[in-house]
A and B are shown apart, each in its own frame.
Chain A
Amino acid sequence: DAGITQSPRHKVTETGTPVTLRCHQTENHRYMYWYRQDPGHGLRLIHYSYGVKDTDKGEVSDGYSVSRSKTEDFLLTLESATSSQTSVYFCAISGPGLYGYTFGSGTRLTVV
């Protein structure tokens, strides 16, 4: 996944704990997105960013917050993790004139 990396790749956490996932890009793209992917639901948009400190909600934003202090970094925080947030989380970027997204490799999060 040239140009976009996610960390950690795997995470197991306990219910009620805060969790932060990181997305880092080297493409200098303005737009960054956080998705979750679940069986039966596919990819669902959580939050997206259209610039430093500029973010907006997606369709499944409850329980999640994001921050973007630098162009290259987009953080997703679960303030108090719940079992329903067990999922695979993907970061994506998009650029001018390009079709669709470039995705990261994903973070597999398990909340126990």
Chain B
Amino acid sequence: QKEVEQDPGPLSVPEGAIVSLNCTYSNSAFQYFMWYRQYSRKGPELLMYTYSSGNKEDGRFTAQVDKSSKYISLFIRDSQPSDSATYLCAMIPRLNSGGYQKVTFGIGTKLQVIP
């Protein structure tokens, strides 16, 4: 069993829809959770990050963590064609003051927003 499970999709939604992207994980040591967005033929870029359980909102994006269920979600409101990309969840057990991070990634979910 992988440490982080993520449905690879693809997920196709109409413009304006609410999108829900999810990951489950098995390692209870994970405390920091991230979402990366990767456009086609580009490197992943950090979209959002959260610490421990709860919600974090940034514009049309909301990241949600439920540590009791080992489940994290990314919600996109009023989705736009420009949101079409692959979204990777990622997590780490702690922030290293020296900068080293052993990041565990999900496989990524490919999202297509249809105009």
Enumerate chain A interface residues (CB-CB to B < 8 A): 1, 29-31, 40-43, 50, 90, 94-106, 108
Tell me if A104 and B97 are in contact (CB < 8 A).
no
- Give CA–CA (A90, B108) in the complex, Å: 15
Tell me if B49 and A99 are in contact (CB < 8 A).
yes
Q: With contacts A31-B98, A105-B43 known, what are 8 further pairs, Cβ within 8 A?
A: A31-B100, A40-B107, A42-B108, A43-B105, A94-B99, A101-B101, A102-B46, A106-B41
Chain B residue contacts of A42, Cβ below 8 A: 88, 105-108
Tell me if A103 and B45 are in contact (CB < 8 A).
yes
CB neighbors of A among B34-83 (8 A):
34, 36, 41-46, 49
- Grouping DSSP codes into helix (H, G, I), strand (E, B) and loop, the A interface class, with mixed when no group exceeds half, is loop
- Are A96 and B36 also in contact (CB < 8 A) when A42-B105, A102-B46 are? no
Enumerate chain B interface residues (CB-CB to A < 8 A): 8, 32, 34, 36, 41-46, 49, 88, 90, 92, 95-101, 103, 105-108
Listed residue (A43, A96, A97, A108) with the most chain B CB atoms within 10 angstroms of its CB: A43
- Give CA–CA (A101, B98) in the complex, Å: 14
- Give CA–CA (A103, B98) in the complex, Å: 18
- Give CA–CA (A108, B41) in the complex, Å: 9
- Give CA–CA (A30, B96) in the complex, Å: 12
Chain A residue contacts of B49, Cβ below 8 A: 99-100
